[in-house]
Amino acid sequence: MTKTISILGSTGSIGRQTLDVADLLGLRVAAMAADRNVDRMEDQCRKYRPQLAVMMNEQAAQELKVRLADINTKVASGLNGLMEAASLQEADTVVTAVSGMVGLRPTLAAIGEKKRIALANKETLVCAGELVMGEARRCGAEIIPVDSEHSAIFQCLIGCKDRAEIKRLILTCSGGPFFGFDRERLACVTKADALRHPNWKMGQKITVDCATLMNKGLEVIEAMRLYDLPLSKVTAIIHRQSVVHSLVEFCDGAVMAQLGVPDMRLPIQLAMTYPERKGSPAAALDLIGCGSLDFKPIDEENFPCFRLAKKSAEMGGTACAAMNAANEAAVALFLQEKIGFYDISDAVQAAMEAPVILNPNLEQILEADHAARELVQKMF
């Protein structure tokens, strides 16, 4: 079992819940990294006394250094700092919980040091999944998913020795705050509407992705990469209650599902304790109290992001990186209230028109990412 962790994105939603789990399991924290939330990082450093604290933002790092002058935590900044936090010798597990593809190079650094990766940062697998999984195999680093759907699949696959036995993965999707909306209503939704997720409390970027259903598109690609399956074997359905976290259908017709209350501390904890399980403060699942469970198809017409993400997976190569980067840039603009709901999918679609490089290396992935972001900035 994990004894010492480093957390990339410690001040965020997953990062804070990881610290709750660390408290419970008595884990030590070697390094913590974030972008610019100095207040929260200072509090976390005072409580956990990590060896290293990193702020991506240079000014924030300077400020943190001043504030932590009285304790023994080294402060670093920028991408190099993030890479240092990811590779620190003392940690056996690195929790990748930054938001966005900025997590890619630190994740590769952690893999290079054979750390267990508790992977929440799905954008990394979306834009460079083949590269990341290839490196993990080459270095012998374990990747344990934290994303609830992928953790569910991971659990359903315990004991499955031959991937050929998998007929398909079925990811469940809450449908987000706009379930059932038609195009006309969707065209007028605001940032505040999008941030009202029915079942989960998460960071702003992923919450908007849940509203556009891009999150499920990203998760389809994440599942393809984690389990080395083609798009035809990864599907998704709406399940409003978020009780069934995902399912695996096997070649003999058996379907395994993992159920539980919607509480991210469960998959985070399993990524630490696997192959063991430990008690959890999460509420027990009350099957009678949760009422009926229902399943519906995804509306791909009115939620084009889901369709576009799958198309990028079909196109392969740098298409996923371009799709993901355009989405990150467009969601940032949506959160600044500069663009509307359908501008996000328009931006993604435009970025996917770029020429695709198959079997890209890291530089080519980063270039595709950069080009897509530039395109989106020019579009609006």
Mark the segment that binds Mg ion (CB under 5 A) among 41-49, 52-60, 140-148, 317-325: 140-148
Q: Among 92, 147, 299, 328, which residue interacts with Mg ion (rule: CB under 5 A)?
A: 147
Given Mg ion, ligand NDP, none, residue 264, with its beta carbon under 5 to 8 Å by kind, binds: ligand NDP
- Are 368 and 354 in contact by the 8 Å Cβ rule? The answer is yes
Pick from 132, 134, 100, 95: nearest CA to 115: 95
Given ligand NDP, Mg ion, none, residue 249, with its beta carbon under 5 to 8 Å by kind, binds: none
Q: How far apart are CA 223 and CA 214, in angstroms?
A: 14
Given ligand NDP, Mg ion, none, residue 172, with its beta carbon under 5 to 8 Å by kind, binds: none
- Are 61 and 82 in contact by the 8 Å Cβ rule? The answer is no
Q: How far apart are CA 291 and CA 289, in angstroms?
A: 5
Q: Which residue is nearest to ligand NDP (CB)?
A: 12
Return all residues near 346 (Cβ < 8 A) that are at least 6 apart: 379
Q: Does 97 bind ligand NDP (CB under 6 A)?
A: yes
Return all residues near 31 (Cβ < 8 A) that are at least 6 apart: 6, 7, 50, 51, 52, 53, 54, 84, 85, 86, 88, 91
Mark the segment that binds ligand NDP (CB under 6 A) among 6-14, 65-73, 240-248, 252-260: 6-14
Residue 36 or 307 having the CB closest to ligand NDP: 36
Residue 4 or 207 having the CB closest to Mg ion: 207
Q: Among 112, 139, 197, 200, which residue interacts with ligand NDP (rule: CB under 6 A)?
A: 200
- Are 274 and 29 in contact by the 8 Å Cβ rule? The answer is no
Provide the mask over 252-271, with x wherever binding to ligand NDP is found by CB under 6 A and - wherever it is not. ------------x-------
> Which residues in 246-284 are b (16+ Cβ under 10 Å) and which e?
bbbbeeeeeebbbebbbbbbbbbbbbbbbeeeeebeeee
Taking the complex as a whole, the smallest distance from the CB of residue 14 to ligand NDP amounts, in Å, to 4
Given ligand NDP, Mg ion, none, residue 63, with its beta carbon under 5 to 8 Å by kind, binds: none
Q: Does 37 bind ligand NDP (CB under 6 A)?
A: yes
- Return residues touching ligand NDP (CB under 6 A): 9-15, 34-37, 56, 97-100, 102, 120-123, 147, 200, 202-206, 264
